[in-house]
Amino acid sequence: ETVDHQTIHDLLVEIARKAGDMVAGAQPHVNTSGYKKNSADLVTETDRAVEKYVIGKLKEVYPDYDFLGEETYVPGKKLTDRPTFICDPIDGTTNFIHAFPNVCISLALCVYRTPVVGVIYNPYTTHMYTAIKNQGSFLTMPVRTDSPNTPAPIAPRKIRLPRKSYPEPLTGLQNALVAVEWGSDRTGPNFQIKHRTFTRLVGAVEDGGKMVHSLRSMGSAALNLCHVASGQLDMYWECGAWAWNVAAGWLIVSEAGGIMVDGNPGGWTPAVDCRRYLAVRAAPDGQKELVEEFWGCVEGEM
Ligand code: IPD
């Protein structure tokens, strides 16, 4: 069976925009949200409604494809070789609840466990990131087309990633802007490894740290990957994310010349559902050195 990537891409873009309207039109509230495993693992009615909408639309057209989504996931369910749609209805639920506008819908198609179409849409900024395997990554966003004497029409413009002025050469961890996430696991050995690693990254060189330019923790794995793809972030590291957080962004990073490796030292070819990721933006050279330098800061195995 051949899969028409362009048709699926166009459908996912359309679904993402509609889902985006649902998200942007909702009024969540900290007190009306629920939580899953603990009080930092949040879910809202909108997460569930968006996923239901996405499943309905996809099943109409592709009834035979598998589906993996955050809100309908049953523990133990595995990603298979079959064509599978992967959906995070709201990536950045915590942001959504707090009205912090770093939120997106993330949709991907994986075949043989490899993302071949990826679509990520932030309904607040209306930035739409898309990629099809072997065809590059794109950002469609509104651009002001006004001159000083005219009103301000805003026209969508589609640009190829990474943006032209990026990337500058990667000159080492010390000059990097790095995204990390705390995730919702707040106890146990992994939590210890995380904050030791964060400290190593930001700490002064004379204390054994790398003193990166800074860390960013913006609350959406998918958007972190989009920013790595665009060259606005140099790297992104997270242990504990899920396939639905990263599948679309994975392709968007890769098609923009970036790489995805394992968040644990040594894993050059991670699986989409391995849950530990390190993304590095496009660079003429130096990606591998940077990965190794980063792995040197990861204090333990997660
Ligand atoms: C979460 C966000 C967050 C990351 C977590 C994810 P959600 O996704 O991407 O940045 O740290 O690991 O679970 O729950 O908002 O879809």
Q: Is the per-residue pLDDT at 1 higher than 60?
A: no
Query: DSSP 3-state assignment of 247?
Result: helix
Query: DSSP 3-state assignment of 181?
Result: coil
Binding-site residues, please?
Answer: 70, 88, 90-91
pLDDT, one tens digit per residue, over 83-101 is: 999 999 999 999 999 999 9
Say if residues 132 and 9 touch (Cβ distance below 8 Å). Answer: yes
Residues 100, 83: Cα–Cα separation, whole Å: 34
pLDDT, one tens digit per residue, over 61-86 is: 999 999 999 999 999 999 999 999 99
Q: What is the pTM (predicted TM-score) of this model?
A: 0.96
Residue 94 alpha carbon, nearest atom of ligand 1: 15
More confident residue, 140 or 1: 140
Mean pLDDT of 122-149: 91
Q: Determine the pLDDT at residue 163.
A: 80
Helix H segments across the chain?
A: 5-25, 45-61, 93-98, 188-202, 221-230, 243-255, 287-295
Ligand 1 atom 4, closest CA: 183
CA 41–ligand 1 middle distance (angstroms): 8
Residues 274, 59: Cα–Cα separation, whole Å: 27
Residues 212, 228: Cα–Cα separation, whole Å: 16
Strand partners, 156: 142
Ligand 1 atom 7, closest CA: 91
With the most atoms of ligand 1 within 8 angstroms of its CB, the residue from 43, 121, 181 to mutate is 181
CA 258–ligand 1 middle distance (angstroms): 21
Say if residues 200 and 211 touch (Cβ distance below 8 Å). Answer: no
Give me the amino acid identity at 134.
N
Q: Determine the pLDDT at residue 245.
A: 98
- Which of 1, 34, 69, 12 has the alpha carbon at shortest distance from 244? 69
pLDDT, one tens digit per residue, over 2-38 is: 779 999 999 999 999 999 999 999 988 776 678 888 8
pLDDT, one tens digit per residue, over 187-246 is: 999 999 999 999 999 999 999 999 999 999 999 999 999 999 999 999 999 999 999 999
Q: Determine the pLDDT at residue 175.
A: 93
CA 88–ligand 1 middle distance (angstroms): 9
Residues 7, 138: Cα–Cα separation, whole Å: 16
Identify the band that residue 114 occupies on the pLDDT scale cut at 50, 70 and 90: very high
For residue 270, what are its two tokens?
Answer: 């991670």
CA 244–ligand 1 middle distance (angstroms): 9
What is the CB neighbour count within 10 angstroms for residue 57? Answer: 17
Q: Determine the pLDDT at residue 151.
A: 66
Q: Determine the pLDDT at residue 55.
A: 98
For residue 294, what are its two tokens?
Answer: 């980063």
How much of the chain exceeds pLDDT 70, in percent?
A: 96
Mean pLDDT of 99-104: 97
Burial class (CB in 10 A: 0-12, 13-18, 19+), 235: buried
Residues 153, 156: Cα–Cα separation, whole Å: 10
Give me the amino acid identity at 160.
R
Mean pLDDT of 38-64: 94
CA 284–ligand 1 middle distance (angstroms): 30
CB-based pocket (< 6 A), ligand 1: 70, 88, 90-93, 181, 183, 219-221, 238, 240-241, 245
SS3 track for 101-126? CCCEEEEEEEECCEEEEEEEEECCCC
* Distance from the first to the final alpha carbon of the chain: 38
Mean pLDDT of 280-290: 89
With the most atoms of ligand 1 within 8 angstroms of its CB, the residue from 220, 225, 277 to mutate is 220
Is the confidence metric ipTM above 0.90 for this complex?
Answer: yes
Q: Determine the pLDDT at residue 275.
A: 97
Indicate the DSSP class of residue 195: H
pLDDT, one tens digit per residue, over 147-201 is: 767 667 788 899 999 986 666 788 899 999 999 999 999 999 999 999 999 999 9
